[in-house]
Amino acid sequence: MRMEQQPLILTSLTRRFGETCAVDGVSLTIAPGQFVGVIGRSGAGKSTLLRLINRLIDPSEGRITHGEIEVTKLKGFALRQWRRDCAMIFQQFNLVERLDVLTNVLVGRLAGHGPLDSLLMRFTDAERTIAISALDRLDLASQALQRAGTLSGGQQQRVAIARALVQEPKIMLADEPIASLDPGNATRVMDALRSINRDDGLTVLVNLHTLDTARSYCDRIVAMRAGRVMFDGTPRQMTDDVVRDIYGAEGLAEFNESVTSTAAAPARPRVPA
């Protein structure tokens, strides 16, 4: 897999929804190959930030560049190419449950096919080989022909990662990928992201809701509140005191909740950031 060499630079990035400033003047330079955790309470702007990066939504102001590429100006084919370069994985996996696991992974290749191939789900043998090796890497090769809907949540999320991998992205964006998982599955999913980061050199940006996970996996933690970056540093610098300063005692308690209690309440209440 190719090594990515370009920094991702966000400059004064802002996105408003009516009166709400979801992302408010965010400037960040993300070095290639970095593993960045974005934390923040519900409504802080974490998902909006990732969606701006892969251009699912457009900024109100500011710009994004990736090396020579002016991401915020991309249109048409170049925009589709950029979306392929930034794979996105979500809390709810977004698999097609009635299709088998292998086909779900192959969906990651669809962007490179014409409409008829896509409609008929026609793939080459080489693509099948790539998909099977991605599944094998995520320890799911023996489930390749099983219906995706019959897998556990953790397995489904690993299928989603395999689907993202066959896209051959440069950047992996993950929006709370472990928020619906029990601790064992959460660890396997985070380990898979770490392996992609370390072994393939992919830049990983992951939104997380638990501090211990951010501290154990990320090179860098960005903490958001009300659309703004309140902290940007190493896990070691992100002490409980810093967290309390930014989010208060209540926020600290919320971040230190175990992954188990997050999994027990999948629909987190939306509280103001």
Ligand X SMILES: Nc1ncnc2c1ncn2[C@@H]1O[C@H](COP(=O)(O)OP(=O)(O)OP(=O)(O)O)[C@@H](O)[C@H]1O
User: What is the distance between the alpha carbons of residues 192 and 43, in angstroms, rounded to a whole number?
Assistant: 27
Residues 6+ apart with CB under 8 A from 192: 138, 158, 161
Which option in Mg ion, ligand X, none does residue 17 bind, with CB closer than 5 to 8 A by kind?
Answer: ligand X
* Minimum distance from residue 46 beta carbon to ligand X (Å): 4
Residue closer to ligand X (CB basis): 22 or 131 = 22
* Minimum distance from residue 180 beta carbon to ligand X (Å): 12
Footprint on residues 29-88 left by Mg ion (CB under 5 A): 46-47
User: What is the distance between the alpha carbons of residues 153 and 266, in angstroms, rounded to a whole number?
Assistant: 12
Which option in Mg ion, ligand X, none does residue 246 bind, with CB closer than 5 to 8 A by kind?
Answer: none
Q: How many residues are listed for the chain in this entry?
A: 273
Which option in ligand X, Mg ion, none does residue 45 bind, with CB closer than 5 to 8 A by kind?
Answer: ligand X
Count Cα neighbours of 273 within 13 Å in the Cβ-side half-sphere.
22
Residue closer to ligand X (CB basis): 46 or 109 = 46
Output the CA angle 94-98-99, nearest 5 degrees: 85
Residue closer to Mg ion (CB basis): 46 or 225 = 46
* Minimum distance from residue 233 beta carbon to ligand X (Å): 19
Q: Which residues of the shown chain bind ligand X in the complex (CB under 6 A)?
A: 17, 20, 22, 40, 42-48, 270
DSSP state of 42: T
Residue closer to ligand X (CB basis): 104 or 262 = 262
Q: Residue by residue, what is the 3-state secondary structure of 121-169?
A: CCCCHHHHHHHHHHHHHCCCHHHCCCEHHHCCHHHHHHHHHHHHHHCCC
Which option in ligand X, Mg ion, none does residue 163 bind, with CB closer than 5 to 8 A by kind?
Answer: none
* Minimum distance from residue 93 beta carbon to ligand X (Å): 16
* Minimum distance from residue 227 beta carbon to ligand X (Å): 7
| Phi, psi torsion values for 163, nearest 5 degrees | -60, -40
Residue closer to Mg ion (CB basis): 47 or 155 = 47
User: What is the distance between the alpha carbons of residues 152 and 189, in angstroms, rounded to a whole number?
Assistant: 12
Binding site for Mg ion (CB under 5 A): 46-47
